[in-house]
Structure 1
Amino acid sequence: MHRVILAALLLAACTPAPAPRAYRDTSAPISSIALFDAARLAGEWREVASFRENGACLICRARFAPGAEGVEMESGAGRARLVPAGPGRLKPEGLKGAAAEPWWVLWVDADYRTLVIGTPSGEFGAVLDRGQIGPDRMKAAREILGWAGYDVARLKPAGS
C-alpha cells in the first residue's frame, strides 16, 4: 500500500503545473496615464508584442477612429468601441475574454508612436506601434510592463 502511495506521489511530482493565467503579479502597483489623449490614437496601429498563450495576436492591426462616444476600433479581433472609463482607461465594448476588461494605458511615447496597454488582472497586455518600433521604445515598453508587475519573459513578439 505504501508503495502505491509513494508511486502516486512521485507521479504527481512529475506532472507540470498549469501555466498561470495572469501575466502580472497583481500585488505590484499599476497606474494609467492621467493625461492620455484618446484623440491622438487616430490612425493605423499594429501589435508588436503581447501576452498570449496560443500564439495568435488579439489586436494584430487596428485602425482607431476617435469620436465623441469613444474610439472605434477595427482589428483582427473584430470591431469594438473603446469607451473612456477613467483617466488613461478605455473599456472595450464588443470584445470577449480578458481583452474585454478595461484597458489601462500604461505608457505612450511623447509622439504617440508606441502604446502600452494592460489590465489590472494581468490577463491581457500588449505593445502597439504605428510602424516599425525602435529598440529604444521597445526597451521602454518592456520596462514599463515590468514595473507594472508583468512577467516580461512571457511577452511574445508579433508573429511568434
Structure 2
Amino acid sequence: MGVDHQDKGDKAMRRRQILTMAGAAALTASLTACVGGGAGVEFHRGKSRPLSSTTRFDASRFAGRWEIRGEFVYPGEKPSYGAVNLTHSNGKITAMDVYGPSGLLERYPTKQPAPGRITVGTPPFDTQYWVLWVDADYRTAAIGTPSGSFGWIIDRSRSGGEDRIKAARDVLGFNGYNLSRLQIR
C-alpha cells in the first residue's frame, strides 16, 4: 500500500512539473510576441543594429512645441501628424504633452535618466524615447524607442526644412528603422 501511495505522489509531482513548465513556456511565448521577438507584432526597427541617443542634448533647448512631421505606421494605418510639447526643469525634460488633430491626447510626467533619453511610465511598462539626432539649432529631431515600436521626426515648423527632415530620415534608417513605414508630411 505504501508503494502505491508513493507512486501516485510521484506521478502527481511530475504532472505539476509538466504543467508548470508548459505554463512558463506559454508565458514566455506570449511575452516574446508582445515585444516583437516572435510571431506577434513586427516593430518598425530591426534590433540587429545598436541604437544610441545623442549626447549633444540640452533639455532647455529641446523643450517647447514640436510638430510631428514624420511617424512610423503599419500598413493600412494613417499617421496622426499631431504635435508634442516638452517641459523642462533643472536641466531635464519633466513632462510631455501629445496632441492629435483635435487637441491634447495625453499628458505624461517624464524622467530623463541620461542625456537624450526621456522615459514615460513606470517599469516594467515604461517607454523610453531616445533622441537619436537633433540639428545644431534644435529645429528638427529624430526620436525612436530601443524596442523599435515607435519613431518620429519632429520639427519646430509644420513645413519647410526639407534638408533637415531628410537628415532625420537618414538617421532613422541608419539605426535600423524600416523606412517604408515612415510617413512624412
2:88 match: 66
Which one has the largest radius of gyration? 2
2:133 match: 107
Deviations 1:82-134 (A, max 9, x none): 3102232110239xx8xx51111100000000111101111101011100241
1:85 match: 113
Which amino acid counterpart does residue 57 of structure 2 have in structure 1? F
Given candidates 148, 152, 161, the residue that maps to 1:134 is: 161
Q: Secondary structure at the match of 2:110?
A: strand
User: Is contact 2:116–2:131 with CA below 8 Å preserved after alignment?
Assistant: yes
Structure 1 unaligned spans of 5+? 1-17
Q: Distance in 1 between matches of 2:61 and 2:171?
A: 20
Q: Distance in 1 between matches of 2:174 and 2:127?
A: 20
Which amino acid counterpart does residue 105 of structure 1 have in structure 2? V
1:118 and 2:144 matched = yes
User: Is contact 1:83–1:90 with CA below 8 Å preserved after alignment?
Assistant: yes
TM-score for both structures, normalised by structure 1 = 0.75
Q: Greater share of helix residues, 1 or 2? A: 2
User: Is contact 1:40–1:112 with CA below 8 Å preserved after alignment?
Assistant: yes
1:145 and 2:172 matched = yes
- Greater relative CO, 1 or 2 (CA 8 Å, sep 6+): 1
1:32 match: 53
Q: Secondary structure at the match of 1:115?
A: strand
User: Is contact 2:110–2:120 with CA below 8 Å preserved after alignment?
Assistant: yes
Structure 2 unaligned spans of 5+? 1-38, 100-104
Q: Distance in 2 between matches of 1:122 and 1:108?
A: 19
Q: Secondary structure at the match of 2:114?
A: coil
Identical columns (%): 38
TM-score for both structures, normalised by structure 2 = 0.66
Structure 1 residues 111 and 80 mapped into 2: Cα distance closer, same or farther (>3 Å)? same
Using the TM superposition, give the Cα deviation of residue 19 of structure 1 relative to its aligned residue in structure 2, in angstroms. Answer: 8.8
User: Is contact 2:87–2:95 with CA below 8 Å preserved after alignment?
Assistant: yes
4+ residue stretches of structure 1 with deviation over 4 A? none
